[in-house]
Amino acid sequence: MILGDFLKALSQLSDRPFRRVLAIGVLLSLALLVAIYAGFLAVIQYLTPDSIEIPFVGPVGGLDTLLSWGSGLFMLGLSVFLMVPVASAFTSFFLEDVAQAVEDRHYPGLPAVTRVPFMDAVIDSANFFAVLVAVNVLALLLYAFAGPFVPVVFWAVNGFLLGREYFTLVAMRRLGREGAKALRRRHGVQIWLAGTLMAAPLSLPLVNLLIPVLGAATFTHLFHRLDARGRGR
């Protein structure tokens, strides 16, 4: 069933308005990746005055190396990890637009929703983002014992967090905050699985730039399917 939600999201690539949404979403994901990577370089600059020599990449140091070729390659490599916080930050800026594009195509006739005020969306996303960072810091202890299963643990942990965030924010548009939480609690395992299937391709450089948009579209389909089941439709 989750695969069906994802295939519906992919099928909308034939829709010109959705391709426009996808293109804007990819550019936004790239901008967020650069912003988060710049923050990473700022930390390096604060911790050490010297650049770090990366094999096959060259020296990477502080913000002064942000636009170098070596730094760009390093950013692509780090996107394996950095795209998870990018996907989380993405929700405050663009999830509403993706969900609306999906509903316009697949769920016509629905009543209009009141757009969540931008600052409210930013606050919700900032809270999710803080939880995501805190949990991943704590999970470093778990990764130390996971051995070859570190990627699986990483995807499962972040899949739980991203699934919770994306589903909640999509559902809130139609059900409100409490209704979204109630529906999420009833279908927690399925939402976790969908989030994990979203987190895994976030580890593929370049491909991962598409995932926040396709993930938001997939969770929109997932919400409508679960909500329809609960209402007996």
Q: 201 falls in which pLDDT band (50, 70, 90)?
A: very high
Distance CA 169, CA 120 (A): 11
Sequential DSSP letters for 173-189: HHHHHHHHHHHHHHTHH
Rounded percentage of the chain residues whose pLDDT exceeds 90: 56
Of 59-73, 126-140, 171-185, the least confident: 59-73
Q: What is the rounded average pLDDT of the residues 64-88? A: 75
Q: Domain segments of the chain: what residues?
A: 2-32+80-230
Distance CA 179, CA 34 (A): 35
**Structural tokens at position 88:** 């989380």
Pick 215 or 73 by higher pLDDT. 215
pLDDT 10s digits, 87-135? 999 998 899 999 999 999 999 989 988 887 878 888 888 899 899 989 9
Q: Has residue 226 got a pLDDT over 90?
A: yes
DSSP label of 207: G
Q: What is the pLDDT of residue 57?
A: 47
Q: What is the pLDDT of residue 18?
A: 93
Please list, residue by residue across 164-188, b when 16 or more beta carbons sit within 10 angstroms of its beta carbon and e when fewer do: bbbbbbbbbbbbeeeebeebbeebe
Name which of 135, 208, 207 is nearest 165 in CA terms: 135
Distance CA 21, CA 85 (A): 20
Instruction: Work out the angle at residue 150's Cα, subtended by the Cα atoms of residues 144 and 153, and round it to the nearest 5 degrees.
Output: 105
Q: What is the rounded average pLDDT of the residues 168-178? A: 93
Distance CA 117, CA 115 (A): 6
Q: What is the pLDDT of residue 56?
A: 46
For residue 38, how far is the Cα from the chain centroid? 19
Cα radius of gyration rounded to whole Å, the chain: 18
Q: What is the pLDDT of residue 76?
A: 79
Q: 54 falls in which pLDDT band (50, 70, 90)?
A: low
**Structural tokens at position 52:** 């770090």
Please list, residue by residue across 111-134, b when 16 or more beta carbons sit within 10 angstroms of its beta carbon and e when fewer do: eeeeebeeeebbebbeebbeebee
Instruction: From residue 38, give the alpha-carbon distance in Å to each of 9, 60, 81, 207, 216.
Output: 31, 12, 14, 21, 25
Distance CA 60, CA 53 (A): 6
Name which of 36, 37, 39, 71 is nearest 53 in CA terms: 71
Q: What is the pLDDT of residue 109?
A: 87
Say what the pTM is.
Answer: 0.87
